[in-house]
Structure formats: structure tokens, C-alpha cells
């Protein structure tokens, strides 16, 4: 069965940084989804939010600070993701550095990175404080660490991701191949630049799935079962700790 024929839309509905200052809370149902292009993150993540009745935090968007309604989003890079990539910001830094007067002093790259991290992590921590949700990318697994939330990585062989990305986005495979190259490079650069780690590193996640090998609606079901089991196991461990 090919990737095209196996896709079924879901029912509506490099070392990581140190631990966060937010204490772990096993009872919070929080799922993060990291996905390479064509792995179906734009389908799976909002469907999980819809099925669980949880808020959905998309990839970097212009509506930063506002939770998106579960629904279609894109496999390809958003304009805001392009702006957040190191190459784009480096060019912007050079532009700012061009002489415009004796007092001009452009912000350092380090300062820009700090601002970007703080801006994008704020949405993650708001969701955590509100009681949970589903987050697509944003290096959320890296930001939160394994003690907070259930972290999933969706990936697969490049050619199968091209085929699936073309189906999900309704474009040609040639166009999907171009989008795959751009999206994978930019999203990997984002995580490497800000967090000094590789988003494809399996040690960051509780569950890694080749989401080109099975239908995406099956992927959704697998994540739901695994996340609920993980949440129940964490709650039981916390209860045992309190009794001891």
C-alpha cells in the first residue's frame, strides 16, 4: 500500500538544556508533537486536541499567545517560521548593522536568540499552567523535558514523506519535495540554534513513529493509547510516592 492510498483524514472532532523551573505535574495531560515535513504533524496534532477536548498550540504563527482551534494547519513552513530561522535573522542582523548614523547599535545575535526563545516558550508555559493541551513543534519536548507531558516524534523515509506531504497538502510530489527540503532544514536549524540539540534525537521523546508506514488515523489512535497509559502510570507513581 502506498503512502497516498494509506492516508485517511482523521475523524473531525547536540545536548538538551537543563530542566525547567516549572515543577513536574504527572496529572496534566499535555502532548507535544514534533514532526518532519510530510510526517503528518499538521493532521495528527490538531486531531489529538480535538479528540481530547484540549487547546491546540500551533507552530510559530502571527497569532502568538492565542490558542488555535483544532483544524487544518500546514506541513510547509509558515511565514513566521521562515522569519524565525537563523539564516533569515542573520541577514536581518547584517541589514541592521549597515551604517545609518553614529549611534546605531544593532542587537547581538545572542540577544535576538534570547528574545525568540522567551517569546515562543511563553505560549508553551501558558498552556502548561492552564492544565494541558497539544503542541505542534516549537521544540516543546526540549523545552519541557520528559517529566512534563508526553512527547511524540513523527518521521519517516524522505520519499514516503514527499508522497504523503503531497497528499496532505494537495500539491505535486515535485512541489512537496521542495517544501520538504526547506521545512526540514529550517526546523532543524531553529532547534539547533536555540537549544543546541537535534529535533530528530529519539531520546527527547516518549514515542517515535514512522507515520508514513501506517495510516494517520491509526497514528492518532496509537498516540492516544500511549499518552493515556503514560498519564495513568505517572499518576500512580506519584500516589505511591505520597504514601511512602
Regions of the chain with pLDDT less than 50: 1-6, 8-28, 62-65, 87-106, 238-239, 241-242
CA distance 238 to 85: 39
Label residue 2 exposed, middle or buried (CB < 10 Å: 0-12, 13-18, 19+): exposed
- Residue 97: partners with Cβ closer than 8 Å, 6 or more residues away: 106
pLDDT at site 117: 85
Query: Which tens digits make up the pLDDT trace of 68-92?
Result: 566 667 898 877 777 766 544 433 3
Buried b (16+ CB within 10 A) or exposed e, 16-45: beeebeeebbbebbbbbbbbbbbbbbbbbb
Most distant pair of Cα atoms in the chain: their distance: 67
Q: Specify the pLDDT at position 34.
A: 97
3-state secondary structure the chain: CCHHHHCCCCCCCCCCCCCCCCCCCCCCEEEEEEECCCCCHHHHHHHHHHHHCCCEECCCCCCCCCCECCCCCCCCCCHHHHHHCHHHHHHHHHHHHCCCCCCCCCCCHHHHHHHHHHHHHHHHHHHHHHCEEEEECCCHHHHHCCCCCEEEEEECCHHHHHHHHHHHHCCCHHHHHHHHHHHHHHHHHHHHHHHCCCCCCHHHCCEEEECCCCCHHHHHHHHHHHHHHHHHHHHHHHHHHHHC
pLDDT (0 to 100) of residue 23: 44
Predicted TM-score of the model (pTM): 0.75
Q: What is the pLDDT of residue 31?
A: 97
Instruction: Tell me what pLDDT residue 96 has.
Output: 37
pLDDT at 165: 97
- pLDDT at residue 115 in the model: 80
Amino acid at each position: 500500500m502506498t503512502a497516498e492510498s494509506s492516508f485517511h483524514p482523521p475523524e473531525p472532532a547536540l545536548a538538551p538544556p537543563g530542566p525547567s523551573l516549572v515543577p513536574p505535574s504527572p496529572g496534566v495531560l499535555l502532548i507535544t508533537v514534533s514532526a518532519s515535513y510530510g510526517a503528518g504533524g499538521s493532521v495528527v496534532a490538531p486531531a489529538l486536541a480535538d479528540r481530547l477536548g484540549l487547546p491546540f498550540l500551533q507552530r510559530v504563527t502571527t497569532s502568538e499567545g492565542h490558542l488555535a482551534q483544532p483544524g487544518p494547519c500546514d506541513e510547509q513552513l509558515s511565514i513566521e517560521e521562515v522569519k524565525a530561522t537563523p539564516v533569515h535573522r542573520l541577514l536581518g542582523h547584517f541589514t541592521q548593522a549597515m551604517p545609518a548614523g553614529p549611534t546605531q547599535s544593532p542587537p547581538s545575535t545572542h540577544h535576538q536568540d534570547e528574545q525568540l526563545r522567551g517569546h515562543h516558550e511563553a505560549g508553551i508555559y501558558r498552556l502548561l499552567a492552564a492544565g494541558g493541551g497539544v503542541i505542534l513543534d516549537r521544540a516543546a519536548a526540549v523545552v519541557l523535558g520528559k517529566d512534563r507531558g508526553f512527547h511524540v516524534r513523527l518521521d519517516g523515509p524522505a520519499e514516503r514523506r514527499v508522497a504523503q506531504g503531497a497528499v496532505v497538502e494537495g500539491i505535486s510530489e515535485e512541489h512537496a519535495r521542495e517544501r520538504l527540503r526547506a521545512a526540514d532544514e529550517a526546523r532543524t536549524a531553529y532547534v539547533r540554534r536555540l537549544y543546541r540539540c537535534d529535533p530528530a534525537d529519539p531520546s527527547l521523546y516518549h514515542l517515535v513513529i514512522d507515520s508514513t508506514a501506517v495510516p494517520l488515523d491509526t497514528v492518532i489512535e496509537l498516540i492516544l493509547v500511549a499518552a493515556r497509559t503514560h498519564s495513568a502510570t505517572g499518576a500512580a507513581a506519584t500516589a505511591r510516592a505520597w504514601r511512602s
